[in-house]
Chains A and B, each alone.
Chain A
Amino acid sequence: QVQLVQSGAEVKKPGASVKVSCKASGYTFTSFSFTWVRQAPGQGLEWMGWISPYNDRTNYAQKFQGRVTMTTDTSTETAYMELRSLRSDDTAVYYCARVVTGYYRGDYWGQGTLVTVSS
């Protein structure tokens, strides 16, 4: 069965970076893309960007351009999202989701990773 398992919670200071991982299993890794979505406490869902493990093509939301990098490692079937220059308003749960190639939807989601930014 398809599973996306994310790394554990992180606490970071303002200005630092965080890298969240998303380990995939149960399907052919390069046949699907990944998207990353975050949710601030008590708020809605916010799309951050998308990456294809097949060709490393990415598309980042304009809000995060220059501050986010999404990568994949086909040898470990893991996707990564790194966010730099963290601010307090980056405190959120970060989700990875599998994307059916050619379709703009996440059909399986990771359990989420809480990133807390606090001095």
Chain B
Amino acid sequence: QSVLTQPPSVSGAPGQRVTISCTGSSSNIGAAYDVHWYQQLPGAAPKLLIYGNDNRPSGVPDRFSGSKSGTSASLAITGLQAEDEADYYCQSYDSSLSAWVFGGGTKLTVL
């Protein structure tokens, strides 16, 4: 079991909007530690997609956005494109474990 909980899969048609949730606890997301999101395309290394809850690194399209509230965070993708099909992981820090923690990953399928 992952410390952060994500849905195993989400799907959407091209052009649609999808969201991926990430639920933690009072020792990680709820303790005000930042949430980061990574995109992992098939066969590739993870890539930082969102950092510090809602910031995009240079080069990441503004179709991707992040938010955080309480013990949860969300990644939203608007205007879905075929190339968005990938696995998405949330990540934070857990003070009880003194460790980085990841969600189990969510597979996004573009229909």
Which residues of B are found within 8 Å of A107, using beta-carbon distances?
Answer: 48, 51, 57
Q: Which residues of A contact B101 (CB under 8 A)?
A: 47
Q: Are A112 and B45 in contact (CB under 8 A)?
A: yes
CB neighbours (8 Å) of A37 from chain B are 46, 100, 102
Q: B57, A47: Cβ atoms under 8 Å?
A: no
Are A45 and B48 in touch, CB under 8 angstroms?
A: no
Across chains A and B, the number of contacting residue pairs, with CB separation under 8 Å, is: 60
Interface size on B, residues (CB 8 A): 25
B24 at the interface (CB under 8 A from A): no
| Chain A 96-111 interface 0/1 with B at a Cβ cutoff of 8 Å (1 = within) | 0100000111111111
Flag if A105 contacts B2 (CB, 8 Å). Answer: no
In the complex, which residues of chain B have a beta carbon less than 8 angstroms from the beta carbon of A46? Answer: 102
Quick one: which of A64-119 are within 8 Å of B by CB? 95, 97, 103-112
A103–B45 CA distance with the chains assembled, in angstroms: 20
**Residues A104 and B92 in contact in the complex (CB < 8 Å), given A44-B103, A45-B105, A59-B98:** yes
Most buried by B among A44, A50, A109: A44
